Structure 1
């Protein structure tokens, strides 16, 4: 079994990944964001039999020394630490550069110096911008339509440069929109669910016409694990996608149907993105991942939404449904 570091382990996807790695018998070091409350994010909610098997290390991905210490003795790194909220990137782009680009550089530099055997750098479908053709494969052009996506493009290209310049064993893993239990309220599915479960009959959203390709979080995590198993994925950029799209409006209506059919959708101007920044269509190709690995999506959107609703019913106290979460 390998010694694995997960950065961003306190977050949504990271906590699910840590949990699955422990269940698979790996030794896991979880790198979480230092804070004076000594909280470990979603790791704090894991059962004790899982949590007791994790080595938790607090720090800041922007600090090269802390990153280097965290990576000592590590075989593989799953790098998920990032700032991801698009609206907040309009407000604080400097922070996104420091976290997403410089943070990734810290991982790559340490991996090169420490001869780390494998690094998976987490990308995002937002790097493609609005689809110029569908399904979007890994050869699709990049377009930075928000400061967030621009910094993720920068991080990806740094990862590519280290592979090409120094033979650093990097894979760029590019999930399309992931959803499920533990997701933050700034994402669209938790936004809709929390408003519905709080009893609201006016569900406030932004633009309804964009389409997204939604991965249930367990399928995304399995994509990471399958990619990491194979040496032929080193040096590659690989989508994790269902190759199925749905509009935000259709998604909202399905959740309304499941939770409160009396609710209606209201478009709130505060939630609209600048016209040229909004990504109108994302529909990913999963041909490459299915060719290189044994990965297949297991969960339908309907199944994933059902499990996600169940989680939020039990955890509404952790969410603020009355405010717009940037």
Structure 2
């Protein structure tokens, strides 16, 4: 890897910890900052050659110390919950906007050459067409989507104004081991408690584009390495959508649960988007991606992890 001193914000979380695993194999010096509000230190306990700092990126004095001798930043730390952003927009702003601005501002007086930022498909709001390409209009319908979009725009503005290279990766729905919440984990957790019935939030008709966390990590590292990604935004999805009901059926099949009844709450939450499917053409072209991990393989990996670490179903 062409960068030797790496900072991963949110590095104890789901995507962040997998990224740290991959970076360790690249032999770089790694510093992780995570306040453990949603991450888990045990995600990194098997690694002994990283520096871990338990702190909040919204604290400017902390960020100034953490960034001082870094070459590249993978910025993943954020509130990643749409419902939480609706319930507490101030917390969402502090985490996603203040934290990102502090990071960008501090980079001006540091050796940082590039930032690879974890954005979100939530910036698009309800799509006007599918699949969603990078040029699709941005009209977020939640504080979370708004804060991710604003942070992304600040990053590009700092590249134009100050020359700090910035790449934004708009993640659709990443899945895999260590995912501590969201639809697949929630399904598995419910089935662990009672596998006779699976209660699905909403109608089950929502469509999502799931991408394996291993693919996400590879894309993050490729963007760090390749100059073609400087100043670019990419949609991180496979281009294949699946309804939540179809997803539930796949999970039940993987678990050999043939008699589980599906029920629906009929209501969802504010900020929920009905359909999200990525157009990955730009991503594939610029980063020379030939294929993505099949959903069946990604599901199997997460289910195996869950049963080993959380409990048998």
Band the TM-score falls in, shorter-chain normalisation? over 0.9
Cα offset, 1:121, TM superposition: 1.3
Cα offset, 1:294, TM superposition: 2.8
SS in 1 for 2:7: strand
Cα offset, 1:278, TM superposition: 2.5
Contact 2:239 2:280 (8 Å CA) reproduced: yes
Contact 1:220 1:240 (8 Å CA) reproduced: yes
SS in 1 for 2:220: helix
Determine the C-alpha separation between the residues in 2 that align with 1:115 and 1:296: 34
SS in 2 for 1:184: coil
The aligned counterpart of 1:262 is: 259
Q: Among residues 272, 277, 280, which one is paired with 1:278 in the alignment?
A: 272
**Aligned ranges for residues 111-260 of structure 1 at < 5 Å?**
111-185=107-181, 187-207=182-202, 208-259=204-255, 260=257
Cα displacement string for residues 260-300 of structure 1 (whole angstroms, at most 9, x for unaligned residues): 2211222225x6124xx321111111111222113344410
**Aligned ranges for residues 78-89 of structure 1 at < 5 Å?**
78-89=74-85
Determine the C-alpha separation between the residues in 2 that align with 1:174 and 1:144: 13
Determine the C-alpha separation between the residues in 1 that align with 2:16 and 2:25: 14
Contact 1:226 1:294 (8 Å CA) reproduced: no
Determine the C-alpha separation between the residues in 2 that align with 1:41 and 1:90: 21
Q: Among residues 66, 74, 79, which one is paired with 2:70 in the alignment?
A: 74
Equivalent pairs counted in the alignment come to 309
Contact 1:131 1:283 (8 Å CA) reproduced: no
Determine the C-alpha separation between the residues in 2 that align with 1:148 and 1:91: 11
The aligned counterpart of 1:324 is: none
Cα offset, 1:43, TM superposition: 4.1
Cα offset, 1:212, TM superposition: 0.7
Determine the C-alpha separation between the residues in 2 that align with 1:162 and 1:46: 31
Q: Among residues 38, 41, 44, which one is paired with 2:42 in the alignment?
A: 44
Deviates more, 1:292-301 or 1:163-172: 292-301
Cα displacement string for residues 13-68 of structure 1 (whole angstroms, at most 9, x for unaligned residues): 00000011001211111112168xxxx944424463xx111111221111011112
Cα offset, 1:199, TM superposition: 3.1
Determine the C-alpha separation between the residues in 2 that align with 1:311 and 1:235: 36
Cα offset, 1:178, TM superposition: 0.2
Determine the C-alpha separation between the residues in 1 that align with 2:186 and 2:157: 37
* Pair 1:17-2:11 in alignment: no
Contact 1:196 1:256 (8 Å CA) reproduced: no
Q: Which ranges of structure 2 fall in alignment gaps of 5 or more residues?
A: none
Contact 1:226 1:295 (8 Å CA) reproduced: no
SS in 2 for 1:123: strand
SS in 2 for 1:4: strand
Q: Among residues 296, 301, 304, which one is paired with 1:307 in the alignment?
A: 301
Cα displacement string for residues 240-261 of structure 1 (whole angstroms, at most 9, x for unaligned residues): 2111110111101111222222
Note closer, same or farther for the CA distance 1:124–1:279 as it changes in structure 2 (3 Å cut): same
Cα displacement string for residues 136-162 of structure 1 (whole angstroms, at most 9, x for unaligned residues): 111011111111111111111111211
Contact 1:204 1:266 (8 Å CA) reproduced: yes
TM-score (norm 2): 0.93
Cα displacement string for residues 175-223 of structure 1 (whole angstroms, at most 9, x for unaligned residues): 21101111122x0111112212333322122221111110011011111
Determine the C-alpha separation between the residues in 2 that align with 1:250 and 1:263: 14
Q: Which ranges of structure 1 fall in alignment gaps of 5 or more residues?
A: 322-326
